[in-house]
Amino acid sequence: MSFSELAASIQASDDTTRALDLGRPVWVYGTGSFGRAVAAALRAKGVQVPGFVATKPPAESCDGLPILPIAVGPGALGQGAQVAVGIFNRETSYGDIDSIARAAGIERLFWPFDYYPQVEDQLGWKFWLGSTTIAKAEIDRIRQAYEMLSDERSRTLFSRIIRFRAGQDLAYAAHVDPEEQYFCDLTLPHLANRSFCYVDCGAFDGDSYVALNQHVPVADAYLFEPDTRNYAALVANVRRFSGAAKCLPLAVADTYEILSFSGEGEGGVVDRGGTTRIATVKLDDMLSNTRIDLLKLDIEGSEAMALRGARRLIAEGRPIICASLYHKPEDVWDLLLLIAGIVDDYDYYIRQHMFNTFESVLYAVPRRR
């Protein structure tokens, strides 16, 4: 897809044409945490929610509302029933959900990217969901990022990610690249046969550190994980390896600060309503005498802050950077441009490792070191 075609798609996108009619009943498809939050958000706005539908109902009711099998179709839900998809994850392709709903005769199916602007104030931050007005206001920056991508494959993924999130390319929901996440032909050749330093921001339970060690021995590593439960698992997993890994119970940003934090497995996030207090640090301060070779950022929307707090390390060391692109809508173009503003000799690639644009990653690879 050319940039002119992408720009035309962005300009054609419109939140209002895909919105729910909040004056009519809305069924919610899915009874997981996101689906329940959607139902609660709609009810808080005075919308009638008759109940949930599910492919295989786990119970007869949820949060005081009945759960019906999706197969009952419009006969039980009401002719022309609105069904809001309350499934938002990386494991279930929206293409599969669409096929199940259509087979059941559901015609008025609304996706999270359709209705999110209507309930954003109740739902709060939800990864890459956002209004189409964000991209419209950033056309010039989107063009700059598009033109800086280093291969046609990345430009195609870049375009399709933006179009999918605007409700214009549902078929892209099923796309998954074949490469292993983070440790693939874009990164591993630069690490082979040499001692290197790995920095993992959002180390979770050490899964990425373990995976990297299966490819090449990690001589030195700094693993940042602020969630206390994840941190305990991280420390336990790192003990299995002989490399000099330092586990740090800290979050990474562009300043030192004490913030509220809500932890939920892989989804820990800075949250004013969080019950846990964490410290954030700048990598430039923490690793002032360290040359890093591989920097991984998967920190629930704080990637841009972490990059700003690592300007000197990036400028002086030119590490390979793997940054998540699915936590904020604008990260798809903003993170590339942020790195380019620090150092001007990187090649940029995008790969996607799970469904529905989750686990999409920007790979910034230095041309020289």
Q: Which residue type occupies 197?
A: C
Fold classified for 16-126 = Rossmann fold (3.40.50)
Determine the pLDDT at residue 48: 98
For 338-365, the pLDDT digits (tens) are 999 999 999 999 999 999 999 999 999 9
For 211-252, the pLDDT digits (tens) are 999 999 999 999 999 999 999 999 999 998 877 899 999 999
Q: Within 10 Å of residue 310's Cβ, how many Cβ atoms?
A: 28
Q: Is 190 exposed, middle or buried (0-12, 13-18, 19+ CB in 10 A)?
A: middle
Residue ranges of the domains in the chain?
16-126, 176-366
Determine the pLDDT at residue 243: 73
Q: Does domain 176-366 have CATH number 2.60.40.10?
A: no
Residue 209 reports pLDDT greater than 70: yes
What average pLDDT does the chain have?
95
For 61-72, the pLDDT digits (tens) are 999 999 999 999
pLDDT band at 261 (very low <50, low <70, confident <90, very high): low
Name the pTM for this structure: 0.95
Dihedral of alpha carbons 65, 130, 254, 243, sign: positive
Percent of residues, the chain, with pLDDT higher than 90: 90
Determine the pLDDT at residue 270: 58
Determine the pLDDT at residue 276: 80
What number is the average pLDDT over the span 151-168?
Answer: 98
Do the domains 176-366 and 16-126 match in fold? yes
User: Over the chain, what HEC string results?
Assistant: CCHHHHHHHHHHCCCHHHCCCCCCCEEEECCCHHHHHHHHHHHHCCCCCCCEEECCCCCCEECCEEEEEHHHHHHHHCCCCEEEECCCCCCCCHHHHHHHHHHCCCCEEECHHHHHHHHHHHHCCCCCCCCCHHHHCCHHHHHHHHHHECCHHHHHHHHHHHHHHCCCCHHHHHCCCCCCCCCCCCCHHHCCCCCCEEEEECCCCCHHHHHHHCCCCCCEEEEECCCHHHHHHHHHHHCCCCCEEEEECCEECCCCEEEEEECCHHHCEECCCCCEEEEEECHHHHCCCCCCCEEEECCCCCHHHHHHCCHHHHHHHCCEEEEECCCCCCHHHHHHHHHHHHCCCEEEEEEECCCCCCCEEEEEEECCC
Determine the pLDDT at residue 269: 60
- Tallying the residues shown for the chain, one arrives at 369
CB distance 154 to 1 below 8 Å? no
Residue 297 reports pLDDT greater than 90: yes
As a whole number of angstroms, the distance between CA 226 and CA 244 comes to: 20
Residue 265 reports pLDDT greater than 60: no
